[in-house]
Structure 1
Amino acid sequence: MPRPKTLPNEEVLDAAISIMRKEGPEGLTFAALSAGCGLSASTLVQRFETKSRLIQAALLQAWDRLDRLTAELAESTPKTPAGAVSLLVGLSGDYGGIETYADDLMILREDLRDPALRARGAAWRDALSAAIGARFEGVAAAPTGVGLMMASQWQGALLWWSFDPRLPVQDFVEESLKRFVAAFVTAPSAAPERR
């Protein structure tokens, strides 16, 4: 089969992410990407120049998708504590099984090494925390900073699930987040008066 003459960057970067998931970031080379997407290695070098720029471009595209998914879920879930749970359960569906989650942790290392990618992660944290916090407006018992607290609870739930992935990830996350919300939404707002 002949090589394609052109391929949009989005498809090329999808192939790069796929290679990183299977082989780790070290396994992503221009030769491997050439085999994966069909463009010549020299064409890929012309587009991305270096392996680090290729990795950065692939991960920036992944951040763009996560930003869009987060915005879509924020738009489609109710502005209630239950909506906050739904939003985070919806974000959990992208993790798949334990192997996918573990492979994505290898890729996360690259996000942490690159200042531009770390900045994208921090910006997403802020946007996600604000979207969660908006679902607690008017909830008197909600602690200050509940958005970031619940996002942190969610990330912790994902990690704890990964050690014992018997339940589907979304079920585990939903149970964990419902317990988190119940800890203050149903808690009494003040201690009873003493007589």
Structure 2
Amino acid sequence: MTRPKTQTDERVLDAALALVREHGLAALTFSALAKRCGLSGATLVQRFANKSTLAQRTLLHAWDELDARTRDLAGATPLTPAGAVELLLGLSEGYDGVESYGEGLLLLREDARDPVLRERGAAWEAALTRAIDARFAAVPNAPAGIGYALAAYWQGSLTWWVFSPDQHVRDYLTVKLNAFIAMLKLAETGEAPRADR
């Protein structure tokens, strides 16, 4: 008779992800995870087989969290351009500073190396751009592909924020994303900017 699991895989992967976020992927070893979650290294090896599988499962767990956050924000933000900004600001929470954003970029490097993780990234891109598109559906003359354009602008703005760390990420992105939407309105009307804008 097998012993019941003392911790679910999800709880173990929560611990693994916390370890990765604090110390980087290189710190994710069976020994370090055993200390973090309270299970033996042998038990963890039985569950995850090897370090490569453990790392992949941990990063897939991170994608699960991001997918859930995206769904929650898509369900809670208005179907307006302001709602699109709110959705993207919500996805930006958790970056306490440039260091935490930099750690996220290191995980992105791992995602780029693994075809399974790349597939998850592509699926998230599709879901996010659909959610943003929906927030512009009632806007007359909203350009096709606005969801992708705004998501790409958001990602680029996050990268540029690294060079302005004196500003809180939410404040920085609020200005940048609203300026992007304002540029779309300008392009839609064909008006030249006035000096008092």
TM-score normalised over the length of structure 1: 0.90
Q: Residues 93-138 of structure 1, C-alpha deviation per residue, up to 9 Å, x if partnerless?
A: 1323222111121122111111111100000000000000111113
| Corresponding residue for residue 31 of structure 2 | 31
Partner residue in 2 for 1:175 = 175
3-state DSSP class of the match of 1:164?
coil
Asked if the contact 1:139–1:185 (Cα under 8 Å) also holds between the matched residues in 2, the reply is: no
**Gapped regions of structure 1 (runs ≥ 5):** none
Partner AA of 1:56 in structure 2: Q
What pairs up with 1:81-120 in 2 under 5 angstroms?
A: 81-120=81-120
Structure 2 distance, partners of 1:68, 1:22, is: 21
CA distance in 2, matches of 1:82, 1:109: 31
Aligned to 1:22: 22
Equivalenced residues, count: 188
SS at match of 1:163: coil
2:129 aligns with 129
- Distance in 2 (CA, whole Å) between partners of 1:128 and 1:174 is 18
Other-structure match for 1:163: 163
Kept in 1: contact 2:128–2:147 (CA 8 A): yes
Worse-matched range after superposition: 104-113 or 174-183: 104-113
CA apart distance, 1:186? 4.3
Give the distance between the partners of 2:147 and 2:191, measured in 1 at CA. Answer: 25
CA contact (8 A) 1:70 1:128 kept: yes
Instruction: Encode CA deviations 1:43-86: one digit per residue, 9 max, x unaligned.
Output: 00000001111111111111111111111111111111111111
For residues 163 and 11 of structure 1, the distance between their equivalents in structure 2, rounded to whole angstroms, comes to 36
What do you get for the CA RMSD once the two structures are aligned?
Answer: 1.7
The 8 Å contact of residues 141 and 184 in structure 1, kept in 2 or not, is answered as no
Which structure 2 segments of 5+ residues have no match?
A: 193-197
Q: Which residue of 2 aligns with 1:52?
A: 52
Q: What letter matches 1:114 in structure 2? A: D
Give how far 1:141 is off.
Answer: 3.6
Instruction: Write the distance in 2 (CA, Å) between the matches of 1:83 and 1:191.
Output: 25
Structure 2 residue identity aligned to 1:76: A
User: Which is further off, 107-116 or 133-142?
Assistant: 133-142
- The answer as to whether partners of 2:80 and 2:138 remain within 8 angstroms in 1 is no
Aligned residue for 1:95, secondary structure, equals: coil
